[in-house]
Structure 1
């Protein structure tokens, strides 16, 4: 009886903790983006006014927290009602706003320096948000003679619950503002990670990460080939004609009749455009080459070039919009994109999104401006295309504003405005929570002494009516609105279990970070240590990658593939739980690390393990799977240094028997990306083989695959490594720590394998089965003529073990058709047809 009573007490307390934890971390993002109704402020006025179809609310009518100090209002006879009033500041003052969610926001500040009754043209001031100067030394006189307002537009990721916009008059001057807009923008409108173009590297692209920790200021937004238009986010697009360098080379293509169709969800990431990326008016107009009929020798002379004024030697986000709405089908038109006269990449029609024409898409580049004060962008026709043309639909340039130590982060001033009841409530709430948790722990320990642990608890999180805590993205519907079939619900883990396992996702538990989000170390209820990967709002990866990872890993199991323990999709969370890999990534052990150096034999064994995992993906898994993001950070090591391939968010089902490839937008990581796939957008298993070849070279040389600090010819490891091999000097770039360990026969076989993997044409590359054979052979050559028995954790099922006992084994037939069926565990329906039906859903094209 006492035990039953104790059980009820513990259950009640557990439910209380669940409620508190869920309530404390509750977020309510919408399923789809809806244009917000706040904040649009008519500064210096108590009246509401309408402008561009939007109501700007008078300051006294704001129904939320609003702070402005040391200010006065003034009125004028400006033509627009929005600019007939202004809030004037004689000393440092601010507006403070409450924020609904941790997300990216758009801030617009309107300035119209009227001269009566106050002369605002004499205003000199700075504007800031915590950590950033939005404007310094603003001079109202610079805009006096223009009869329109100056609108400054910024994008910023706001992680806090409030944001303060501060106006600081310069000595003996004043500050003012006529109107303020502040509202959340669609998820993934701006990505945290983009491609980095560096002029010094002659167009070689790398990766830039960290846009969410910067502020972006809009400098140019062009409707190329079109007229001035506004979009649903109230952004203004203007014609591009005044920025053309060679106007005679281009002309406007007739506008598209009707609305441009968008093929992806509002919250999807690039390069697929949504209706919020740019409006139909932009994608339905274009500048195209006027000289498409020129000869093949002269065609590249007829490029279209735009030169736009920018600040010198400053990072800028360049966004280019494309939509071919006149070709009869996709894939017929491709041309070259150039920045600062350096060819960057081929633009291959609009197959990135759909085989249907038209389909809008865009590309983002981080570009550092040069000393000229202009940014030059060109599109160049390609004489080998079926349709010889080059075009552009839209162009945006945003200046990257870095953090400044001279601007307060706002934490101290914000704390002064927290009311006493809020402080007391927080303290008391924290004490109550601490008491409940301690008491719960004590009672649980007492109960465990009297009873055996319960493996499958019946306790479930309490549904929270506001927002729906048990909402499931996977079972309720995908981003396209339909339920995801065949998802393995048996792998679902309650959110409360993961909160308790990771100390409510405490920063101390973080063991890694990636494009998807943070990875936490957690201890599950059964005592198992796990890696918990939790998505973050606006991350490079989204729902499609989350779905793909679950569907791939819930259907296959192999000792060289990281195992999925479970997932959670409650309350709009996207969390994946994997087996914990104690030794981290292969990359962690190769360079820029304090970890012990891996021996050559260890490196070979790791490469062999990864090859086995990839070989099983390609041929052993039902239907075949292409990983699409093979790299050293996606090869993880357990406590015995056994390699396991991870991160299947970009995976695609392999080509069917009726076609040799899968047509898809290019996804992957610079430096590892198959050049043939990059050019043709035709994905095959050989794309993984190329990426794995880069990994092999990375293992041999222990250096980054892209290193902009090196001389030009050495920046790209794949190109540099093959150049050295062809010159017979590969020995010179091998990791010095293992040079003396490598048997020359083993090195020869290994380098031959790398060379075959990195062939330009995919048809010349070996299968993963052949690569595995060669690596096993290289290991046996390293071990010598007498084969060493396998370690207990190695595969014992490989058919190669007998034939590789001698180093002079003759070449066996291709092993690409072999699979490791004894290593796999298929969950659910084990039929090939069922698996094919699952993987046919993996046609994802969202950005990484």
Structure 2
């Protein structure tokens, strides 16, 4: 007993010493928000807000600009435009800002760009930006910003030299560079870790990625999950945080939670990293997204999932923020699973109440340029809930390494601080040993039978609308400048005066040419027949629609020209042409069934976004295989919006003259002249049959009963003979369950009454399901009822079963499990189907 008391006293003593050490560390690493450098470029004025003072760069003793060059001013500033963005420094030859750096360490560098009206068109600037000892931060950079908001490029880097230079250099002799404002200031010492767990799309082998702090990091996303915008003046390091709603896969899966009392930053004895107000401001931890759970079904499990556009095949620092202000006590404290892509999960449990913390990962993106993150409850969690407060993604610009550094040393600390650090290190070693012993003896929770991971489709088809991101940070497509007329001479030059050798298509609207703009961007140029004025409404509609939408699976409009009675539209170039060209009447290689499913899923996502994600809702009205284009990676994008109608969400239908293409036309629309989004669903059903059978929607050369593709195939579908009419090149290569699901999906789309047809969100789910069935290696006979869960296709172990459940999809992407009365297991089914998130 005495031995026990002695041990207990020893542990308590260690705890007191540890708390003392932590307080000393906080004292030694105390951080004061800096007062420099904040620069108002192209101006002699000083602009102050509540926390920062931007000094003019015309004359300043704290930094050097050489050579100074030209200052420009907004010729017609809007009253809503900040004073900071009414002037700019313009460089027609290389020029640099030089800063004295003290102390050395991690620095935040922000470059502000806002192209305003002036004698020089700032939209045409094309330039590079570099910093001391590094290659380019920005290369051939141009600010194509139509959002009336500044574009801010933010970088984190370690500066180990006493003189730090930011250099602007025009990319071409006739071009120029500009900048409205610059920030260069030191961040807290521990702001960026030197190493973090490495995660790839295939999972993790528990290895660490090291040397993060020696790289340059560029901010990609900074998300206040469950909350509203956080403006720079409300952030401790003047960061901008945006809401998470535009990035949610399924909005119905989550709800916002918030608390009115400010977060209390605490030091917690756990495996998690304690947050500070400089890691993230209190507002981030005062809001969260939590599961929109069904309390009547306590066994219901599903995840909250987000998707983010990132650079392809690059490394990114992912930082996730947590603060449990939701739980009332530790007894109802959830155990979480954090998922990154499909094959990695991190258990997060023993979560402290009300104490903010964060986790860092280095994530390698795949070739889709898309990163998905999910949060969900562990199967054995005491409560069926999950939550997330914030998220940041920073690209690790690995090719940017220091070339040369001056030998600098940090300022010497006082003898007292040195003694504290040395003593602290010794004590820290003792504490680590004790904590390791405690960790080893900790009672482990029972192992879970499986993880629940998010469903994804191989090939990078996960998509996400960046409309919201574009309005704040500029267009997501390089060199995109919606609303900017492209001079006719520029289009002539891009197409070599509309050379017949560059013509890639022809139709009733005119001809389509491949072209290359002066900035090197490849484009498709659609030129209407000049001079006769036909198609003007379609021309105007296309510009109107595409100037309001942006989505991975919708073709992007680059610009237009209406000079000399011309009607010309310029789009991003789609290297692999139309879907139809890859199905029949061409010499192109046959698409595999997997490719066809991926293309259908992508096109369905694009249409679903049109119907629900764009302002007011848009009906395409001419969905067909020639209006589904494929890029170099065979990613599908819906095109040709000349017949589209907007305002869908504000009315049950649109009364309009019937327009469309024979063979794809909705019979109910033709009969009633009432247009709804279900008309697009019908047309898409015909496209599904084209994909399946590799033949046109109408072929008058065939026997009478086969002329109309939809009528003929639906007869075969009802006879259970669908496999007899598929593309001969697919015979023996399609999983029969996948074929059955695909056929059922097309049949539902082609229902006579629009009310009986699914939404495009439902179609996305069904096609994702067909894809997952095709992905399984097991080939079996079709199910008696293939609408049941696919788990019944496989031999199931004798384990506890969990009921299925129902969710509705609000945006696009991840499918949800239907409440079909079937049962699912928690183990082999999801691992084989890769439907591991329990959706």
TM-score bracket for this pair, using the shorter chain length: 0.3 to 0.5
TM (norm. structure 2) is 0.46
